[in-house]
Amino acid sequence: MTPPLLFPAFAFIFGMVVGSFLNVCICRIPKDESIVSPPSHCPVCSYQIRWYDNIPVVSYILLRGKCRGCGAHISLQYPLVELLNGTLTLLLFLRFGPTLAFAALFLLCSSLVVVTFIDIEHQIIPDEISLSGIVIGFVLSFFLKGHSWLNSLLGILLGGGTLLLVAYAYQRLTGKDGMGGGDIKLLAMMGAYLGWKSVPFIIFASSLVGSLVGISIMLFQKKDSKLAIPFGPYLAFGALLYIFYGKPLIRWYLGLSGFGQG
């Protein structure tokens, strides 16, 4: 039965409100600052943001992207994160309804939003997110229908082990570090939530998209310039693709390749 319109609307608003908190995490975790205290404030003039200036997206529009205290520009990242998390929450609710699966995947997707923006700016994936996510994902596997602790455990081992093997092989062949430990723990976290079957799909999807973006950047950037491309956002994209379209895409690919026929 299709849920009343009020429920999806609430899911979207709830996702944006949580997105406002995710902005705090994105800003403070890389600096090793508390995400609880002090209250939200302008980084330029330290003006403490009032509740009416902290309404997701709406306050940004009303303030025209500027601090009420000093007029400093407010990064567009803030409404983008709120809208992105609100949209993901809405899509999860429409797909899974008010279930424990929705709650678990909401935690995962919110974590991926934080990881993506931190990795893009700082090229790090905080252990506070990945390691705690591994534990939470594994614990939730005992309660999720259609999931199991063994599936989660195999996902952790396969996710972390695959990238660990790739990193080791690359280091042995080139003498350089190619895959960060944060990516390894991030894929292990995804395996904890989504199970071992998700890991090959996530690796393939993230590698494909990452390669296409990397080649495009190499073609258009200056020859003497160098750009570090973090892999975390591509892993996050692969995980989201698996959550919403994984099974149909896998069936399509198997049918296209002829597997399972005859």
Model pLDDT for residues 95-117, shown as the tens digit of each residue: 999 999 999 999 999 999 999 99
Domain boundary, last residue among 71, 98, 125: 98
> Contact at 8 Å (CB) between 87 and 25?
no
**Are 116 and 145 found together in one domain?**
yes
- Give the model's pLDDT for residue 262: 47
What pLDDT, on a 0 to 100 scale, did the predictor assign at position 257? 59
Do 232 and 170 belong together in one domain? yes
Are 128 and 233 found together in one domain?
A: yes
Number of structural domains found in the chain:
2
236 and 131 share one domain: yes
For the chain, residues with pLDDT lower than 70 are 1-4, 177-179, 222-228, 256-262
Asked whether the beta carbons of 177 and 167 are under 8 A apart, the reply is: yes
Of 79, 98, 117, the residue at which a domain comes to its end is 98
The reply to whether 249 and 262 lie within a common domain is yes
Residues 148 and 34 in one domain: no
In a shared domain, residues 135 and 40: no
Same domain membership, residue 108 and residue 73: no
Enclosing domain of residue 9? 1-98
Report which of 197, 56, 180, 52 is spatially closest to residue 119, judged by C-alpha positions.
180
- Structure confidence at residue 225 (pLDDT): 52
* Peptide linkage before 39 cis (omega within 30 of 0): no
pLDDT at position 160 is 93
Q: Which residue, among 26, 25, 136, 17, has the nearest Cα to 85 in the 3D structure?
A: 17
- 86 and 121 belong to one structural domain: no
Last residue of a domain, one of 98, 122, 142: 98
**Quick one: 190 and 152 in the same domain?**
yes
38 to 18, 48, 74, 81: CA distances (angstroms): 18, 9, 19, 21
Q: Are residues 90 and 106 in the same domain?
A: no
CB 143 within 8 A of CB 111: no
Q: What is the pLDDT of residue 222?
A: 61
Task: Read off the pTM.
Answer: 0.90
Query: Are 76 and 106 members of one domain?
Result: no
